[in-house]
């Protein structure tokens, strides 16, 4: 079943962010501010991995969902999407095992005393903290997320890293735009 989309097409601001060269994304994330956890929970977001070469791996577009977790926390998940064209509908693609949602993560403010503290003004999406981590490299992902526009959680920028021991290897950028309410 495909969820109802509130925003059928990506906004011009979203498309402009997706076209931004990685060298300029560093300044965007540096001046971004922390998204509001409560504003994220209960929503799914249109996502695009950058650079465009991510389409070669079948990972160009995705949906990222955020839901309330236990004891006031926020948790999240990813949903695969059919096609790489940014203007195509966000039609879901189930995983081989039939799941809609995969690569779950925990969402927290960045803790300056922990190893994952690159952007102190960001939220951390930690794929290794969930009770059951995804097999493969997904459990090693660490994403930092900031607002692109001050005081607005409608357009977000993420910087993804792969945790290898204590080292963090940058693997790419992604843009998020509020899409629709998360299914219950």
Q: Range of 48's domain?
A: 12-85+105-181
Instruction: List, in order, residues 6 or more apart from 106 with CB less than 8 Å away.
Output: 69, 73, 74, 75, 76, 125, 126, 129, 130
Please check whether residue 99 lies inside any domain of the structure: no
Please check whether residue 63 lies inside any domain of the structure: yes
The DSSP string of 53-89 is GGGGGT-SEEEEEEEE-GGG-EEEEEEEES-S-TTS-
Please check whether residue 23 lies inside any domain of the structure: yes
Contact 89, 5 (CB under 8 A): yes
Please check whether residue 117 lies inside any domain of the structure: yes
Q: Is 124 exposed, middle or buried (0-12, 13-18, 19+ CB in 10 A)?
A: buried
Please check whether residue 5 lies inside any domain of the structure: no
Kindly report the pTM of this predicted structure. 0.91
DSSP code of residue 43: E
CATH number at residue 162: 2.40.128
Q: What is the pLDDT of residues 122-149, one digit of tens each?
A: 999 999 887 677 778 888 999 999 999 9
Please check whether residue 61 lies inside any domain of the structure: yes
Please check whether residue 57 lies inside any domain of the structure: yes
What average pLDDT does range 6-25 have in this prediction?
91
What was the pLDDT predicted at 28? 97
- Domains identified in the chain, total number: 1
Please check whether residue 141 lies inside any domain of the structure: yes
Q: What is the pLDDT of residues 106-129, one digit of tens each?
A: 999 999 999 999 999 999 999 988
């Amino acid at each position: 079943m495909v969820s109802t989309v509130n925003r059928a097409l990506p906004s011009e601001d979203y498309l402009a962010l997706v076209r931004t060269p990685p060298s300029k994304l560093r300044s965007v994330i540096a001046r971004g501010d922390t998204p509001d956890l409560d504003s994220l929970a209960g929503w799914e977001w249109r996502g695009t991995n950058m650079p465009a070469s991510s389409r070669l791996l079948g990972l160009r577009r995705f949906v990222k969902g955020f839901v309330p977790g236990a004891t006031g926390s926020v948790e999240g998940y990813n949903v695969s999407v059919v096609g790489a064209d940014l203007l195509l509908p966000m039609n879901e693609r189930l995983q081989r095992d039939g799941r809609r949602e995969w690569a779950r993560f925990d969402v927290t403010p960045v803790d300056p005393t922990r190893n994952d503290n690159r952007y102190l003004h960001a939220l951390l999406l930690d794929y290794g903290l969930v009770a059951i981590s995804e097999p493969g490299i997904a459990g090693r992902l660490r994403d930092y997320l900031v607002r692109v526009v001050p005081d607005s959680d409608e357009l977000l920028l993420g910087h993804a890293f792969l945790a290898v021991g204590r080292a963090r290897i940058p693997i790419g950028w992604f843009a998020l735009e509020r899409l629709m309410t998360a299914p219950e």
